[in-house]
Amino acid sequence: MMLQRFIAGLLSLAFACAAAGAEQWPQRPITLVVGYTAGGNTDMAARILANSMKQSLPVPVVVENKPGAGGTIGAAYVTRAAADGTVLFVASQSETTMLKANRLNPPYDIDKDFVPIAKLMDQDYLLVVPKALNVTTWREFVSYAKSRGSLTYASSGIGTTAHVMSEHLMAAIGVKGIHVPYQGAAALRPDLIAGRIDFYIDVVPLAMPMVSEGTLRALAVTQSHSDPRLPGIPSLVELGVFPEEYAGWTGVFAPKSIPHEVRTRLLALINQMLEGAGGEEIKKNGYRPAAKQALEDFGTFVATDQKRWLAVFQKTAITPSP
């Protein structure tokens, strides 16, 4: 009997300590790590979240960019951080759900090393070419590509969404693609605008200003239908080039052993942001803010998305990296 009381007492103490820890969290500044350079869509989402969290927490919330290797350098850094909810990873599908299909020996395991917290937003993509390429329509692009036999294209790294979509595109029209990877979307745009790269599949809101000013030309969207923001621009699905739409997302991950109570608190903060000014800012910037989520929703989505990308990779000629 005394042993049972002793065990019960220990359990009560453990629950009390966990509850107290959640109430006291955070006691240190929070860092949102992004695996790309500043100026891209993932970075933008992280900064909107940081600004929202600052208003509810007593500690600083900062964004730290750790670009390179298609976002995986930033991810690997987070796996080595303390699992106390003060270092989080703001990521896209490229360095998370696409990784197992793209790398033979990934530097981390998205299932074993991370726990999904919540999705922040979804985004659509647009095929753009520099003004110097002198093509104005999808049909002209295909004719030009076939006359050349090969085209150069940019991405934010090997195995990223733009890399996969571009290889799929080149295979569909029967032309060789020459991949030129960069450390982030912001880093590649000067070369694209200057005409040193033939094409890029960019996030719609980030490409729109350059399309409007005429430095880039929009040729097609990757959605299942045309985009009202781009009248007259066809969909690659409607053209029969892609069998289904390509869309991306941005979400928040934490080191795997983060306390349940802290995970719950983080989700509440993110839902608060999405339903408030942060969600409106995401929408204002041309993205689709995620809906309010329950604790397991993002994890379920991540599992499904991994299976989807595995099937997509099998349709391309991309050889998994070591």
pLDDT tens digits for 197-225?
999 999 999 999 999 999 999 999 999 99
List the CATH code of the domain at 124-221.
3.40.190.10
**Identity of the amino acid at 195:** G
Max alpha carbon distance in the chain (Å)? 86
Topology match between the domains 29-122+248-313 and 124-221: yes
**6 has a pLDDT exceeding 60:** no
**Identity of the amino acid at 267:** L
CATH ID of 29-122+248-313, from 3.40.50.300, 3.40.190.150, 3.40.50.2020, 1.20.1260.10: 3.40.190.150
| Percentage of residues in the chain having pLDDT higher than 70 | 93
pLDDT of residue 268: 98
Kindly list the domain boundaries of the chain, sorted by start residue.
29-122+248-313, 124-221
* Residue 174 CB-density burial (10 A; 0-12 exposed, 13-18 middle, 19+ buried): exposed
pLDDT of residue 2: 52
Q: Give CA–CA dist 204/312, Å, rounded.
A: 21
Report the predicted TM-score, pTM, of the whole model to 2 decimal places: 0.82
pLDDT of residue 179: 95
